[in-house]
Homo-oligomer: A and B are copies of this chain.
């Protein structure tokens, strides 16, 4: 079954069927007949033929840092709502937090005319990224980091961490921080800055070796908490840059016989499902990941379908979720 057969069965010209398939003008009457024939024959227009006709692939590329992540999966869920509605398929490229891989997927999507637009769920953004982004011939939206000159949607990592610490650290004399790489501006630098500014406000002195850095993993959180406790047995709070790291710190504190929250408070970021399952339940920051994914998709669809779209930077709000891992 091809476009000619559909035209014949519907008693219209090939050009009319083509306009119908590409959302061009077709009279209501002919539209009805073509729709019926397509339904009865089960005709599916070939993607390649459609691409040749329209110069569009109706595919969006999403570059993401890891798959097994609460934040990423919520962002994808939000995007999918918008992209499904607008009839885009989505191809994902997983970079495993590797910068070179990230750049190479940007190039892959850019070169092959494979996609109409790109969402980059970003962690680290440096000169090489900027070069690869500048070379793109399709629109791009950055999700998770603020990058000047590009449309982006990101969380308020600094103020949310500041607020959380203002609630939790008045109960603390010796807080410790478990952060992530400073190359990640949002999760690394901004959250850390929120913690340090809150400590300064509250007159809390934090020695440099009470600030650890962990990979984005449970075991990383465990090991970092272990070495912090050995250096500073007096520490009474773990402020962690992610929920998963906090789960590791929680497990470590418990295995070393510290009561949470009586002896040690623990906090995370992300408000993932499991925060309510662990005992004690984990105090965390709720970021609107799903909504931010949805906003990013809307920005991209607008950029793919309209001309002269002005880049925008959207900062999302947040919520502080107090649970039983803090006093």
Chain A contact residues, CB within 8 Å of chain B: 44, 46-48, 51, 57, 59, 66-70, 72-73, 76-77, 80, 89-94, 96, 104-105, 107-108, 111-114, 218-219, 247-248, 250-251, 254, 273-274, 276-279
CB neighbours of A72 from chain B (8 A): 67-68
A92: chain B residues at CB < 8 Å are 67, 91-94
Contact of A277 with B89 in the complex, beta carbons under 8 Å: no
A298 to B114: give the CA distance in the assembly, Å. Answer: 26
Q: Taking A48-B111, A96-B80, A273-B218 as contacts, is the C-beta distance between A89 and B73 under 8 angstroms?
A: no
Additional 18 contacts, C-beta under 8 A, given A91-B93, A218-B274: A47-B107, A47-B108, A47-B111, A47-B112, A48-B112, A67-B68, A67-B76, A67-B92, A68-B70, A68-B73, A77-B96, A90-B93, A92-B94, A218-B277, A219-B273, A247-B277, A274-B274, A278-B278
> In the docked arrangement, what's the CA distance between A309 and B59, Å?
32
Look across to chain B and name the residue whose beta carbon is closest to the beta carbon of A70: B68
Q: Is B89 a contact of A91 with CB atoms below 8 Å?
A: no
Q: Is the CB of A89 within 8 A of B104?
A: yes
Identical copies in the complex = 2
Determine the distance from Cα of A105 to Cα of B113 in the docked complex, in whole angstroms.
18
Q: Can you list 10 contacts pairing A with B, beta carbon distance less than 8 Å?
A: A47-B107, A47-B111, A48-B111, A48-B112, A77-B96, A91-B93, A114-B114, A247-B277, A248-B277, A250-B277
A177 to B273, CA, bound (A): 22
Contacts of A108 in B (CB 8 A): 47, 59, 89
On chain B, the residues within 8 Å of A273 by CB distance are 218-219
Cα of A90 to Cα of B104 in the assembled complex, Å: 11
Residues in chain B near residue A250, CB distance under 8 A? 277
- Complex CA–CA separation, A44 to B254 (angstroms): 51
Complex Cα gap A213–B288 (Å): 30
Which chain B positions have C-beta within 8 A of A59? 108
Once bound together, how far apart are the Cα atoms of A69 and B247, in whole Å?
A: 17
Out of B46, B57, B111, B251, name the residue touching A277 (CB < 8 Å): B251
- The chain B residue sitting closest to A72, CB to CB, is B67
State the Cβ distance, A192 to closest chain B Cβ, in Å: 24
Chain B residues positioned under 8 Å from A276 (CB to CB): 251
